[in-house]
Structure 1
Amino acid sequence: MSTDIQVEIIHKETITPSSPTLPHLKVVELSFLDQFIPDVYVPLILFYPNHTDGEVDTNHQSLIEEKSCILRASLSETLTHFYPLAGKFQYNDSICCDDRGAAFIEARVNCGISKILKNPDTEILKCLFPAAVESTQALTGHLLLVQVNFFDCGGMAIAINISHKVADAFTFSTFIKSWSAAALGPSSTTDHPVLPVEFGVAASHYPPQDFLNSPKPDMKFIRRKCTTKRFVFDASRLTALKSKAASASVPNPTRVEVVSALIWKCAMEASRSNLGSIRPSLWCQAVNMRRRSGQAFTENILGNFVWYFAAITVESEVDLQSLVTKFRKSIEDYKVNYPNGLPAEDAYQSIKESGNSWAKRGIDNYICSSWCWFPFYETNFGWGKPYWVSLPSLQSKNTVILMDAKGGNDIEASLTFLEEDMAIVENNQELLAYGSFNPSVI
């Protein structure tokens, strides 16, 4: 994408909750799972094109003011229910819900929105966000930051940074759904989500631990050597991929299983090609524990309520069927071992041991998070549903994020690998047979 795109900040303010947080909710204890998460931001951007990407309307400025007013008022209302997002961290064990607020930024972009949608560039997307992913709350002063980008054509992109220590993908999705419902107002026919009465429920299951109860050093990213690329797997080719990956052990693999297996296979081949040797490869897949705890009241827990299951391979030759089988066995083992949810003691011990085992030389580690089935494409603030929902480029090595593409049947994958590995992955013919490399959104 051309680097002549300019983003001009035209307004900044702090949005506070519409009602003060009640005294008994002023401190929210972090769970052990929250403590373990690094102090970084989860990013998401939603694009809303104008109906016509043509000349600027004469009342363009008034429309900007109207949209901004609705977004600010509805965000203030939503923060009343999501009050920890308007607070600050107290060390690494709790949030002081002092209603300091969230950052709200307005910006003008000197081009039409189609310029970005026709030629998506995850690196360029970063300039539309209010903060870098690797920033901390101490640096930005907020746990939630929003930047509303207004394009010359009348299109709009809403970029959101939310502290990962406060929110996983489920919590992020619930917040956005609640915010858009507030913007539509009570006359909307959209089902309003169940709003949380209070945060901190996860801490009753996984109490904070002293060995994590202190400020942590900033998370270090491998900036110079990492690159992020985007692949889209459409429904028809996903069907073909499922057929190829199916076996007697897993006759009907899921979309996430087959895409994960294909990406893992390509990443392993790239790593081994560059190293000139074979070494073990570990794939960690995030698991939403809300429906795997065996207890109904955990279904809508907010905060971080995610664990990981791991699949490992040491074979010199791997195929899709065997990798999918490893995924399925890992998740089935989780169900068998933890029918009533992951015990806190097991989680604590696993985290203590993982720091040593994952850091061992000679093991390739990959982390995958699936955001599929979260209704980001249903986010309507009053101007229709988003045309594209995406992420900026990341700096965390060997990270894969899967999302539904528009329509719900396709998958959009964001891959972050070392540059030398990505150079091989992005030209892998098996990957390109099933996934399109950075296709136009329009």
Structure 2
Amino acid sequence: MATESVEVETVEKQTVKPSSQTPHVLRNFKLSLLDQFSPVAYIPFLLFYPNVVSTTTSNVSTHSVKAINERYQHLIKSLSEILTHYYPLAGRIKGNVVIVCNDDGAEFVKAHVKCSLSEILEHPDAEMLRRLLPIEPESTEAVTGKLLAVQVNLFECGGMAIGLTISHKIADASTVCTFINSWAATAHKSNKVMLPQFGVASLFPPLDFSDSEPPSMIYVKEKCTTRRYVFDDSKISVLQSKVSSSLVPKPTRVEAISALIWKCAIEASPKSSSNTLGSSPVRPSIFHQAVNLRKRVTPPLPDNLAGNLLVLSTSKAEESTTSVFDLKDLVAKIRAGIEEMKECATKLVDPNEAMQVLTEYRTNLMKDQEIETYSCTSWCRFPFYGADFGWGMPSWVSFAGCSVKNLFGFMDKRDCNGIETWLTLSEESMALFESKPKLLAYASLNTRVTC
């Protein structure tokens, strides 16, 4: 579908505040060390719901419009109620040190989309999906303004898409998942509301930047191309078997797919002259993967511990004398990087070591622009498809792609076995990447969303 042919009209904006005032004792919420070093960006997320009521024509009937508006008002009311428990999301960040929980509230947008939901799901387009969000994910407002914004998109067929942007300075994927499901349970008047626990700052104490410049990792938008690839369960199993080795006898789904994409991206990079003749050396590259610490520390931390509990593992593919990278070797490098980061995380709780560890990490990220760097985040196994606001489970969930070069993310298909991947590369790299036979042997390009 041509992105420019679809009109998304904003018809209403309002501020939603917690239904109960935040107690004064909770007004100053300390950011943790990991929050302080998180990117200045919003985490984007979309949930799609098919027609919530029956229709008499191709457009929604008068009765349907009334029912949809009632659901819209119900979303506002339930958001206000859940914000009482997630009160930092209604505050504002001050100095990358604290969130002033002053109940300023979250932005809530109502939009009409001049097409049917099925048209969006036919071949999902990243740019189209971003228009269903209330704010650009790369906006610096993530640290200077509202921490949560919601856009409810109403389609001509009666379908709905709820777009959320939550500041990465206070949330990671696990926090987003807990918040969405808690909001849905509140709207559904379910007894399954999982209230958040706060306290990451006590585990990873913040640093004092009164005499120094606070850290700032701002995403810069570049001219890139984003593609969606779908890996079916059967193909993933074959790939896992192919990349298993004595070092990693049972690679995970994400490890196997990551290695395949990393290999194809390296070979498609314009910095590797081998992508033309196949005989010149392939330059080194670095692969980062977001690691959720909740289940990787001893003892494990609770799933509803809200905030950033992510660190990035680092794996490096050394310069190769041929254009051939061994997938088993790349899988082993990815696994080793994750294990190393688990050990490194224990140092972050010591304020004397934390600054040195994170400063070295940021320096390594930036020091050599000649080394191609790829970053991956996985949202697999999070129960996003359980978000029932009272009209059924979502037919599709997505994190709306991204515009950050060399970044790709994983999300479960609706069957929770296959995986969808959104991948962003430079236009030059993507032209070579998307024709890789090794990739297309396991993945399909932007197939229709199966509801």
TM interval, shorter chain, is: over 0.9
- After superposition, the CA RMSD in angstroms is 2.2
Tell me the CA shift for residue 299 of structure 1.
Answer: 5.0
Asked whether 1:245 is paired with 2:252, we answer no
Structure 2 contact 42–142 (Cα < 8 Å) conserved: no
Give runs of aligned pairs for residues 227-376 of structure 1, distance below 5 A.
227-271=225-269, 274-275=272-273, 277-296=281-300, 299-316=303-320, 317-335=324-342, 337=343, 342-344=348-350, 345-359=352-366, 360-376=368-384
Tell me the CA shift for residue 339 of structure 1.
Answer: 9.1
Question: Match of 1:202?
Answer: 200
Larger deviation, residues 315-324 vs 292-301? 292-301
Give runs of aligned pairs for residues 12-411 of structure 1, distance below 5 A.
12-50=13-51, 54-137=58-141, 141-185=145-189, 188=190, 191-193=192-194, 195-197=195-197, 199=198, 201-211=199-209, 219-224=218-223, 226-271=224-269, 274-275=272-273, 277-296=281-300, 299-316=303-320, 317-335=324-342, 337=343, 342-344=348-350, 345-359=352-366, 360-411=368-419
Asked whether 1:428 is paired with 2:428, we answer no
Read off the aligned partner of 2:12 and give its amino acid letter: H
Identify if the C-alpha distance between structure 1 residues 427 and 138 changes in structure 2 by more than 3 Å, giving closer, same or farther.
closer
State how far apart, in whole Å, the 1-side matches of 2:158 and 2:49 are: 9
Tell me the CA shift for residue 347 of structure 1.
Answer: 4.1
Identify if the C-alpha distance between structure 1 residues 235 and 48 changes in structure 2 by more than 3 Å, giving closer, same or farther.
same
Structure 1 contact 150–156 (Cα < 8 Å) conserved: yes
State how far apart, in whole Å, the 2-side matches of 1:68 and 1:299 are: 29
Read off the aligned partner of 1:63 and give its amino acid letter: A
Tell me the CA shift for residue 239 of structure 1.
Answer: 0.8
Tell me the SS of whatever aligns to 2:312.
Answer: strand
Structure 1 contact 288–307 (Cα < 8 Å) conserved: yes
Tell me the CA shift for residue 365 of structure 1.
Answer: 1.2
Identify if the C-alpha distance between structure 1 residues 13 and 389 changes in structure 2 by more than 3 Å, giving closer, same or farther.
same
State how far apart, in whole Å, the 2-side matches of 1:408 and 1:437 are: 19
Read off the aligned partner of 1:265 and give its amino acid letter: K
Identify if the C-alpha distance between structure 1 residues 119 and 331 changes in structure 2 by more than 3 Å, giving closer, same or farther.
closer
Identify if the C-alpha distance between structure 1 residues 11 and 385 changes in structure 2 by more than 3 Å, giving closer, same or farther.
same
State how far apart, in whole Å, the 2-side matches of 1:369 and 1:143 are: 21
Tell me the SS of whatever aligns to 1:191.
Answer: coil
Tell me the CA shift for residue 208 of structure 1.
Answer: 1.8
Structure 2 contact 205–349 (Cα < 8 Å) conserved: no
TM-score (normalised: structure 2): 0.91
State how far apart, in whole Å, the 1-side matches of 2:299 and 2:250 are: 28
State how far apart, in whole Å, the 2-side matches of 1:343 and 1:210 are: 14
Tell me the SS of whatever aligns to 2:289.
Answer: strand
Asked whether 1:441 is paired with 2:442, we answer no
Structure 2 contact 126–401 (Cα < 8 Å) conserved: yes
Cα deviation code 1:185-225 (max 9, x no counterpart)? 0xx3x6332x125x3x111222222349756678251422x
Tell me the CA shift for residue 127 of structure 1.
Answer: 1.2
Tell me the CA shift for residue 305 of structure 1.
Answer: 0.9
Identify if the C-alpha distance between structure 1 residues 230 and 331 changes in structure 2 by more than 3 Å, giving closer, same or farther.
same
State how far apart, in whole Å, the 1-side matches of 2:434 and 2:335 are: 26
> Percent identity, aligned pairs only?
46
Tell me the SS of whatever aligns to 1:286.
Answer: strand
Structure 2 contact 36–215 (Cα < 8 Å) conserved: no
What count of residue pairs does the alignment treat as equivalent?
434
Tell me the CA shift for residue 12 of structure 1.
Answer: 1.1
Tell me the SS of whatever aligns to 1:236.
Answer: helix
Tell me the CA shift for residue 348 of structure 1.
Answer: 2.6
State how far apart, in whole Å, the 2-side matches of 1:245 and 1:196 are: 38
Tell me the SS of whatever aligns to 1:173.
Answer: helix
State how far apart, in whole Å, the 2-side matches of 1:65 and 1:7 are: 18
Larger deviation, residues 202-211 vs 77-86? 202-211
Tell me the CA shift for residue 390 of structure 1.
Answer: 1.1
Read off the aligned partner of 2:256 and give its amino acid letter: V
Tell me the SS of whatever aligns to 1:358.
Answer: helix
Structure 1 contact 295–340 (Cα < 8 Å) conserved: no
Question: Match of 2:11?
Answer: 10
> Gapped runs of 5+ residues in structure 1?
none
Tell me the CA shift for residue 399 of structure 1.
Answer: 0.8
State how far apart, in whole Å, the 1-side matches of 2:345 and 2:76 are: 43
Tell me the SS of whatever aligns to 1:196.
Answer: coil
Tell me the CA shift for residue 78 of structure 1.
Answer: 0.6
State how far apart, in whole Å, the 1-side matches of 2:346 and 2:360 are: 23
Identify if the C-alpha distance between structure 1 residues 208 and 181 changes in structure 2 by more than 3 Å, giving closer, same or farther.
same
Tell me the CA shift for residue 340 of structure 1.
Answer: 5.8
State how far apart, in whole Å, the 2-side matches of 1:304 and 1:139 are: 14
Structure 2 contact 94–100 (Cα < 8 Å) conserved: yes
Identify if the C-alpha distance between structure 1 residues 280 and 138 changes in structure 2 by more than 3 Å, giving closer, same or farther.
closer
Larger deviation, residues 323-332 vs 420-429? 323-332
